[in-house]
Amino acid sequence: MNRSHDASSHSLAIDIGGTFTDLVLHEPATGRFSAYKELTTPDEPARGAIAGIRALLDREKVAPARIGRVVHATTLLTNALIERRGAPTGLLTTEGFRDILEIGHERKYEIYDLFLPLPAPLVRRAWRLEAKERLRADGSVEIELDEASVLAAADKLVEAGVTSLAIGFLHSYANPEHERQAAALIARRHQSLHLSLSSDVSPQIREYERLSTTVANAYVKPLASGYLDRMAAEIAALGIGAPLFLMLSNGGLTHIDEAKRIPVRLLESGPAAGALAAAVFGARSGATNLLAFDMGGTTAKLAVVRDGVPRVAHKFEAARERRFTTGSGLPLSISAVELIEIGAGGGSIAALDPLGLLKVGPRSAGSAPGPVCYARGGTEPTVTDANLALGCLDAAGFAGGTMRLDTAASEAALAALGTAADLAMEDAAAGIQAVVNETMAAAARVHLAEQGGEGRDHALLVTGGGGPLHGPEVARRLGLKRVICPPAAGVASALGLLLAPARVDRVATLARDLSKLPPEELEARFAALEAEAREIIAATLGADAELTTERTADLRFSGQGHELVTLLPPGPYDASSPATIRAAFEAAYRMIFAGVPPVATVEVVNIRLAVTAATGDGRLDPGVAAGSDGASHALRRVRFGDAMQEVPAFRREVLAAGQVIAGPAVVEDGMSTLLLPPGSRATLEASGNLVVEL
């Protein structure tokens, strides 16, 4: 069935963040779109989303029946992992391997910390049980599956209250039959038990990462299933008959049944959409190398876009014990747009540490109670309070006018912090800004170095409610000269949901020397992955969807312990292909490490396939006027440098294409505020982008 919508219908995007739920209504035929922000309801995220949908449709006078497609991203599952609010989960694994989740890699992420907190397993030891079975590394059977041990373990776990079960046997990536046999046995006896198989969730080598990913999937699966069913039902109750699609962490879309089957792939859905939107808007200004900087109410993230494409990694860490420290979280083998969390969000709380130093975050006020200026019970000053007190935000027009900020309350909270630090109120607020900006710039520098460059030839594309406000100063600290602020930057992630293609990623472990791998066998393995991916794309967009495929592989020199994901030629493969593949690997290796070791053998550990199909919503009308009285503006007192000064504050919607604004100035569009520092110049392009030269 072809599920694409007709030209007269609308598309709806729902991006539920930690502080705000962003909604975008888009008309593909004209490219016009409108946006709305609703405070997130963390106790029941669907409630705030449905309230926002009603408000947006009423405001735009669009009947629910005209919605032809709904695309959704949410932080619900990420928060469930962080806050340990998942289902009671059990693990069934090979006899002798129940403690893999605690043994992990047997290494410390901070080697000199004697009291290092390690991520606690999602499954308590009493609920990690074993089955008698054993496969060899090549998938052959050493010990047949003992069905009695499987059923005994399942009975014990269900009796203890387990509602979701992860099944992960040794070497099941090479042969999934034992896992499938066990699942069939358990499903017949315990029909309400949610099952997650490692051969479905993460069919690749390395048992710790595979088990960690499968357990995380099992941990959130009942929550995801119930939530997505409720969301779909409530959307349908509004009179919207359109299918619900979900954004994946890899920047692609999938249908609701696939999302419910492997929900761990949804963890970074919102930030992935923001990176996609950055790539699209950057290309409109001729910038294909970008740093996509997305700062929302809870966190800020950075993604690298090179040659117009966000980088996709095939591993991810969730629920870190130390927010910015690699290795302190739960390793997940999922494909995800490569992002780093680079600092605080608007709701991050500022306070003095025991030494009297000003710190911002990691605690966040979120949406409940929110920053002090929200007047919802917050008492501790946040980044948003500092920005308001320094004149950077419009108290009456915040979030599109859906809420009014309390400036006096922010100033009182900041004054109390200033008194404790022996600072004036405005200096305390400016200190919060400076700490946040430098924290984000420092994290970005490290990330760029890890990517093999400094990024000085990149433009900074700013999105989120706080990205345009903090972006120019972050860019200055990074030595960047160009900042791009797209239209509706405050809801760019929601826009990205509508621009995203359907995408399926598949992986298989080979663990073979490249020189001993027959090209026809390699081609056959890729063909099998492609056939599986095509089925899911067809279920999402219809059998007539036009597909694009990308082949990659995890390659390494013999003797190395880690691999480099390398783009491969498209195939089909023949006798000349191994030399071509090796040359591609050496080129990628040289770009990262500046040299290639004198090693003869290259190993193919995993092969990966990405299949994408466009969804047809790529047209966007930025709504830029051909001409207007763009010089009209108000005046506002804003802090630049060490003093408050009166600067022009422009409304973005009245600016004309080609208009140039010299800093210091403020440009607002209701969803975000662009702060132009002294000496900068911003030009509004016909594409809708405001391009700032620093």
User: Helix/strand/coil (H, E, C) string of 465-533?
Assistant: CCHHHHHHHHHHHHCCCEEEECCCHHHHHHHHHHHCCEEEEEEEEEEEEHHHCCHHHHHHHHHHHHHHH
Contact 219, 86 (CB under 8 A): yes
Backbone dihedral region for residue 479 (phi beyond 0: left; psi -120 to 50: alpha; all else: beta): left
More confident residue, 615 or 323: 615
What confidence tens digit (pLDDT) does each residue in 287-302 have? 988 999 999 887 888 8
Least confident of 142-146, 412-416, 448-452, 533-537: 448-452
- Per-residue pLDDT for 370 more than 70? yes
Contact 52, 15 (CB under 8 A): no
Query: Which tokens go with 590?
Result: 């040289």
- Per-residue pLDDT for 392 more than 70? yes
More confident residue, 346 or 93: 93
More confident residue, 643 or 451: 643
Contact 675, 405 (CB under 8 A): no
- Which whole number is the average pLDDT over 571-582? 94
List the one residue out of 155, 166, 86 whose CA is nearest residue 120: 86
Contact 395, 404 (CB under 8 A): yes
Contact 86, 122 (CB under 8 A): yes
Q: Could you give the CA distance from residue 120 to residue 102 in angstroms, rounded to a whole number?
A: 8
Neighbours of 456 (CB within 10 A): 10
Query: Which tokens go with 100?
Result: 């893999």
Q: 435: which residues sit within 8 A by CB, 6+ positions away?
A: 350, 358, 359, 360
Q: Could you give the CA distance from residue 207 to residue 220 in angstroms, rounded to a whole number?
A: 20
Residue position matching structure tokens 């927010």: 323
DSSP-assigned states of every residue in 74-139: ESHHHHHHHTT-S--EEEEEETT-TTHHHHTTS--SSTT-TTPPPPPPSS-GGGEEEES-EE-TTS
Homologous superfamily of the 10-81+225-266 domain (CATH): ATPase, nucleotide binding domain (3.30.420.40)
What confidence tens digit (pLDDT) does each residue in 233-249 have? 999 999 999 989 999 99
- Per-residue pLDDT for 329 more than 50? yes
What confidence tens digit (pLDDT) does each residue in 250-282 have? 888 899 999 999 999 998 888 888 888 899 899
Residue count of the chain: 694
- Per-residue pLDDT for 2 more than 50? no
pLDDT value at residue 626: 58
pLDDT value at residue 343: 64
- Which whole number is the average pLDDT over 527-544? 90
Query: Which tokens go with 321?
Result: 């014990």
pLDDT value at residue 617: 63
CATH of domain 86-221: 3.40.50
**What kind and span of H or E run contains 637?**
strand 634-640
What confidence tens digit (pLDDT) does each residue in 58-108 have? 999 999 999 999 999 988 888 888 888 899 999 999 999 999 999 998 888
Three-state secondary structure readout of 371-411:
CHHHCCCCCCCEHHHHHHHCCCCCCCCHHHHCCCCCHHHHH
Contact 249, 311 (CB under 8 A): no
pLDDT value at residue 1: 33
- End-to-end Cα distance, the chain: 51
What confidence tens digit (pLDDT) does each residue in 304-322 have? 888 888 888 888 888 887 7
CA–CA distances in Å: residue 279 to residues 284, 395, 604: 9, 31, 31
Strand partners, 564: 555
CA–CA distances in Å: residue 389 to residues 287, 298, 595: 34, 19, 51
Query: Which tokens go with 624?
Result: 């830029």
Strand partners, 70: 12, 244
Could you please state the CATH topology (level 3) that the domain comprising 501-613 is classified under: Dna Ligase; domain 1 (3.30.1490)
Q: What are the phi and psi torsion angles at 144 (to 5°)?
A: -65, 155
CB neighbour burial string for 620-647, b if at least 16 within 10 angstroms, e if fewer: bebebeeeeebeebeebebbbeeeeeeb
Strand partners, 608: 507, 552
Contact 210, 202 (CB under 8 A): yes
Query: Which tokens go with 386?
Result: 């500092």
What's the pLDDT band for 514 if we cut at 50, 70, 90? very high
Question: Is the Cα dihedral 236, 238, 242, 246 positive or negative?
Answer: negative
What's the pLDDT band for 7 if we cut at 50, 70, 90? very low
Give the torsion through C-alpha atoms of 117, 118, 124, 125, to 10 deg: -110
CA–CA distances in Å: residue 100 to residues 77, 128, 178, 252, 499: 23, 10, 19, 32, 40
Contact 426, 389 (CB under 8 A): yes
Q: What are the phi and psi torsion angles at 154 (to 5°)?
A: -60, -45
Burial class for 1, CB neighbours closer than 10 Å (0-12, 13-18, 19+): exposed
Q: What percent of the chain has pLDDT over 70?
A: 96
Sketch the domain layout of the chain as residue ranges: 10-81+225-266, 86-221, 501-613, 634-693
CA–CA distances in Å: residue 425 to residues 122, 352, 385, 386, 488: 44, 14, 11, 9, 32
Residue position matching structure tokens 């209250």: 161
pLDDT value at residue 274: 87
Taking the model in full, what pTM does it have?
A: 0.86
- Per-residue pLDDT for 8 more than 50? no
Neighbours of 367 (CB within 10 A): 23
List the one residue out of 692, 684, 691, 693 whose CA is nearest residue 622: 684
Least confident of 240-249, 394-403, 430-439: 394-403
3-state secondary structure of 549: strand
DSSP 8-class letter at 625: B
